[in-house]
């Protein structure tokens, strides 16, 4: 679900610095030659495409979940505009160095899908946009983002959902088929993004994040389950998870972990193939990041206190730390230096040579 544009609160202070690449735009704004809207349009733009791993959400009753799906905004590891939330998001970390405009497209229950596929009723009620819909929405934007972060696919590893009984016993072929199908759908949408980026004139960095570290994650989930066994007041909707994600059942977790690892291998190989294909395009950088796939998520306190499924504030901090730690090469490509000098230092998203 697309959020309203978030603009760093102190962007005027940043670009008022004579060393800022946007200082001339600031002067034009002060002289009344351009409007505030036009000034903001010239700032770096960052977009996040993803699923509920990227959102401040949790599952409870159907009505409450529906309400939160339509109202939750900007309190997650990517974007957090609330100083009191306790989440030190990527946006909070990055605004210490550079002004920017951020857009969030992630959706609860979002899948890597085929754009001609029919969306399930539950996702339509939630207003979910799957990967193809998020890409279409981004492509309609007048300004193509300078930095595109993609973290999606966690709902695609529910291998036991509608699984034939024989495949539950011997799932090898099913897991292989699901991982290959996932790659085909992901590659189709990524190609749409790269096609648009190819005709742009400014530098563009895209990061494909691997799926989270499910092996570590389930250690945290098991710890939450033990806590609930000792006190049923804790994690009141922990079992509700199984209504929406069959493969979270303990008997199916091992193969979910396997499928996630297979999917990450497919993502890595896909990025390598695209980099070979677009090797001649100097203003595009495409990277696969294993940062989330290796993050330590093994503590119960990283899970939401209601459903023991989605991330708590501390969980979003862990994801933000992992993701931000792997942004440097992309930020370097775009011209951002993560070093302070007089409160601000940045070459700020230079145009490709």
Please check whether residue 319 is in contact with residue 341, taking contact to mean a CB–CB distance below 8 angstroms: no
Q: Which domain, by its residues, includes 284?
A: 6-12+43-334
Question: H or E element: which one contains 139?
Answer: helix 131-139
- The whole-model pTM stands at 0.92
Backbone angles phi, psi at 286, to 5 degrees: -120, 130
Q: What is the pLDDT of residue 21?
A: 82
Asked if the structure places residue 236 within a domain, the reply is yes
Please check whether residue 115 is in contact with residue 192, taking contact to mean a CB–CB distance below 8 angstroms: no
Mean pLDDT of 313-331: 97
d(CA 180, CA 187): 11
Q: What is the pLDDT of residue 74?
A: 66
Helix (H, G, I), strand (E, B) or coil at 174: helix
Residue that has been written with the tokens 């989330």 in this structure: 292
Helix (H, G, I), strand (E, B) or coil at 54: helix
Greater confidence, 143 or 68?
Answer: 143
Q: What is the pLDDT of residue 342?
A: 42
The confidence band for 334, taking pLDDT boundaries of 50, 70 and 90, is very high
The confidence band for 83, taking pLDDT boundaries of 50, 70 and 90, is confident
Asked if the structure places residue 272 within a domain, the reply is yes
d(CA 19, CA 249): 55
Per DSSP bridges, beta strands 6-7 and 101-104 are antiparallel
Asked if the structure places residue 31 within a domain, the reply is no
Mean pLDDT of 74-87: 84
The answer to whether residue 268 scores a pLDDT higher than 50 is yes
For residue 63, CA distances in Å to 66, 67, 137, 237 come to 5, 6, 27, 14
Asked if the structure places residue 18 within a domain, the reply is no
Please check whether residue 67 is in contact with residue 60, taking contact to mean a CB–CB distance below 8 angstroms: no
**pLDDT tens per residue, range 293-321:** 999 999 999 999 999 999 999 999 999 99
Task: Kindly list the strands in the beta sheet with 284-289, ordered across the sheet, starting from the edge strand earlier in the chain.
Answer: 6-7, 101-104, 45-50, 147-151, 204-209, 284-289
Mean pLDDT of 152-177: 97
Least confident of 53-67, 293-307, 329-343: 329-343
Asked if the structure places residue 163 within a domain, the reply is yes
The confidence band for 166, taking pLDDT boundaries of 50, 70 and 90, is very high
**pLDDT tens per residue, range 96-145:** 888 999 999 998 889 999 876 665 655 566 667 899 999 999 999 989 99
Structural domains in the chain (count): 1
Asked if the structure places residue 25 within a domain, the reply is no
d(CA 321, CA 173): 36
Asked if the structure places residue 28 within a domain, the reply is no
Mean pLDDT of 199-204: 96
Mean pLDDT of 274-281: 97
Question: Angle, to 10 degrees, between the axis of helix 253-277 and the axis of helix 172-199?
Answer: 30
d(CA 81, CA 74): 6
Please check whether residue 284 is in contact with residue 290, taking contact to mean a CB–CB distance below 8 angstroms: no
d(CA 264, CA 274): 15
Give 58's Cβ-side CA count (13 Å radius).
21
CATH number for the domain that contains residue 188: 3.40.50.1110
Asked if the structure places residue 81 within a domain, the reply is yes
Per DSSP bridges, beta strands 284-289 and 45-50 are unpaired
**Rg, Å, the chain Cα set:** 21
For residue 180, CA distances in Å to 186, 187, 233, 263 come to 10, 11, 41, 8
């Amino acid at each position: 679900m697309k959020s309203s544009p978030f603009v760093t609160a102190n962007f005027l202070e940043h670009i008022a610095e004579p060393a800022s690449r946007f200082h001339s735009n600031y002067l034009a704004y002060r002289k009344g030659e351009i409007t505030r809207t036009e000034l903001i349009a010239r700032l770096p733009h960052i977009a996040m495409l993803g699923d509920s791993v990227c959102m401040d959400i949790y599952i409870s009753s159907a009505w409450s979940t529906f309400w939160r799906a339509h109202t939750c905004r900007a309190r997650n590891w990517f974007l957090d505009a609330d100083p009191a939330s306790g989440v030190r998001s990527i946006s909070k970390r990055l605004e210490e160095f550079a002004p920017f405009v951020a857009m969030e497209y992630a959706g609860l229950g979002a899948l890597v899908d085929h754009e001609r596929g029919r969306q399930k009723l539950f996702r339509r009620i939630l207003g979910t946009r799957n990967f193809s819909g998020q890409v279409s929405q981004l492509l309609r934007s007048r300004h193509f983002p300078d930095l595109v972060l993609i973290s999606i696919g966690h709902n695609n590893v529910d291998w036991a959902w509608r699984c034939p009984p024989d495949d539950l016993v011997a799932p090898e072929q099913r897991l292989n088929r699901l991982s290959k199908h996932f790659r085909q759908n992901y590659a189709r949408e990524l190609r749409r993004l790269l096609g648009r980026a190819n005709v742009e004139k400014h530098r563009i960095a895209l990061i494909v994040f691997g799926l989270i570290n499910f092996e570590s994650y389930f250690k945290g989930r098991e710890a939450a389950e033990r806590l609930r066994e000792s006190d049923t007041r804790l994690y009141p909707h922990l079992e509700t998870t199984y209504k929406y994600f069959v493969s979270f059942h303990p008997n199916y977790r091992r193969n979910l972990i396997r499928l996630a690892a297979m999917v990450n291998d497919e993502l890595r190989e896909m990025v390598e193939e695209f980099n070979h294909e677009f090797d001649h395009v100097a203003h595009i950088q495409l990277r696969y990041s294993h940062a989330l796939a290796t993050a330590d998520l093994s503590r119960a306190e990283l899970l939401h206190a209601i459903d023991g499924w989605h991330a708590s504030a501390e969980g979003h901090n862990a994801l933000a730390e992992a993701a931000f730690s792997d942004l440097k090469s992309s930020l370097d490509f775009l011209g951002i230096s993560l070093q302070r000098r007089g409160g601000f230092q940045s070459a700020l998203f230079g145009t490709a040579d």
